[in-house]
Structure 1
């Protein structure tokens, strides 16, 4: 018999992979950049004086993986690297005009694909599902810190289904 935690994990991973692949197929058919490229372009576009480390931190991947992905989007002409103005050991990564066009084209294509794939879910279902996933993420992040169990249970947001204290 599968435990509820294992069942949650299994369905979460299955859903993530299937959703990622289906969105990827739909957006690539429209000439958008891959979802991995979209993620890095988004991270760069939202981070002033962006460094590879900043992108790695946002995407929760290693600096090496981020650097290799940045090499690929740089080769595609979507970003440029230049010496970082405040950190002489780092490069600053910026979107090119082509990178901004790709970002602006891909975002709406993702939204359209998500609407086609999951648009039958009503707003209440999405709000509840999102709240549960945020709570699970909060517990996961708190579990790696000392005293985390207490903080995860007693947040200013309360627990799901109960008012904040």
Structure 2
């Protein structure tokens, strides 16, 4: 007979959540070497991809509360990784751009994150890793598209 705890722990949602938590922790530990937290890394990556971008648009794209975005950008700016300047046509808004130092840190963090993910997936064969990514991508895309 299966206990309630065993039943819960055998659910795909429980297992995926546990693996995701471990993976996030491994990536967080890896990028901490660059002085960044996961949110710093995400904001830096979004700034590099979408920039120059308004601070408000960054918050919307990443679903980050404006107060949290200010704190994150303050950290990144103090580290010299992004610049904020008044928007040319609307001085009430700030435009955020990534600096060359930010681009370099982003590249190093990407390498560190890839290494952490390789460590996470080390128990799987290359074919199993590919299959896992295919299945996870399918689940993720199903979430985004209407049924």
TM-score, scaled relative to structure 1: 0.71
Q: Count how many residue pairs are aligned between Structure 1 and Structure 2.
A: 137
Quick check: 1:74 aligned with 2:81?
no
Which stretches in structure 2 are left out of the alignment for 5+ residues?
none
Q: Distance in 2 between matches of 1:72 and 1:33?
A: 9
CA distance in 1, matches of 2:50, 2:79: 20
TM, length-normalised to structure 2: 0.79
After superposition, the Cα gap between the structure-2 partners of 1:105 and 1:32, relative to the gap in structure 1 and judged at 3 Å, is farther
Match of residue 53, structure 1, among 46, 52, 56:
56
**8 A Cα contact 2:23 2:116, kept in partner:** no
Please name the residue that 2:129 is paired with: 122
Q: Take 2:114 and 2:140, find their aligned partners in 1: how far apart are those partners?
A: 20
| Structure with the larger RCO, 1 or 2 (CA within 8 Å, 6+ apart) | 2
Query: How many Å separate the matches in 2 of 1:135 and 1:104?
Result: 30
CA distance in 1, matches of 2:35, 2:71: 20
CA distance in 2, matches of 1:54, 1:62: 11
Q: Which has the higher helix share?
A: 2
